[in-house]
Amino acid sequence: MNVFLCDDQAAFMHEFADDLEGYFLTRKIPFQLFLFTAGTELLSSVIVPDLIFLDIKMGEESGLETAQKIRETNSRTKLIFLTAYKQYVFQSFDVDASHYLIKPVNRQKLDHVLDHIIRQLNPLKEPPIIVKSGQSTLCISCSDLLYIEVNNKTVTLHNENDTTEFPGKLEAVEKNLPARFYRCHRSYIVNMDYIVRFDRMDLHLANGEIVPVSKRKYQDFSSTFLKYMKKEALL
């Protein structure tokens, strides 16, 4: 796994690099860590990163500007912002950031966030769910599944890069899904891993798509989502 760390504060960067190395060594995950002190350095690298830790507020080019340029050619790499300024957090959603960490970074919080990200980067470690559709049997990977919808008895699976359709009912899929999937509407099931913000009408996903939440489901969804985030130590 190629991990990039970009920060213009040398003392913080080297301390944080030690924490990252400790995480990957403890979990026995092969990795290479690359350090950059400016966004321009990072953008000029020929190495393709799996995960980028990016300081939001740097010198000539901010982390947000760097992230925007990354997303012009790379939609797969996971981005985690580092910041001491909470007011920049919501801007991070515009570039499909997976998470943000407030400086100084708590090591336990870092470990939980990385566990969450690594699970998304390694979908094969999680067994697929099996769905019967007529004479066919479908094997569905849950890790990159953003949401599921049904329309006119056609179920559509929305992944990060494509969609899959088959005749059926949501109930047939719902009963086999992990706990992080929530039936937010009679026609939609959402993967809570990909929700970046929500209101009483809509759930906003990391890829920019919007899934509706029904009025009667909102209170239960809000409670369930917050409990899930606390369980994952992401709040």
* Domains, the chain, ordered by start: 2-121 (3.40.50.2300), 126-231 (2.40.50.1020)
Query: H helices within the chain, ranges in order?
Result: 10-26, 39-43, 63-73, 107-121, 170-174, 215-231
Which residues, other chains included, contact 229 with Cβ-Cβ below 8 Å and sequence gap of 6+?
192, 235
Helix (H, G, I), strand (E, B) or coil at 202: strand
Q: What is the pLDDT of residues 70-114, one digit of tens each?
A: 988 887 889 998 988 766 555 555 677 788 888 999 999 899 899
The whole-number pLDDT of residue 234 equals: 61
Say yes or no to pLDDT of 124 above 70.
no
Whether this prediction's pTM lies above 0.75 is answered by no
Q: How confident is the model at residue 139 (pLDDT cuts 50, 70, 90)?
A: confident
pLDDT tier at 127, thresholds 50, 70, 90: low
CA distance linking residue 88 with residue 91, whole number of Å: 6
Cβ-in-10-Å burial (0-12, 13-18, 19+) of 109 comes to middle
Q: What is the DSSP letter of 26?
A: H
Helix (H) or strand (E) segment spanning residue 227: helix 215-231
Mean pLDDT of the 206-223 span: 93
Read off the pLDDT of residues 27-82 as tens digits, 9 standing for 90 and up: 888 899 999 999 999 999 989 899 999 998 887 778 889 988 998 888 788 999 89
pLDDT at residue 165 tops 80: yes
pLDDT of residue 41: 93
Query: What per-residue confidence (pLDDT) applies to 92?
Result: 55
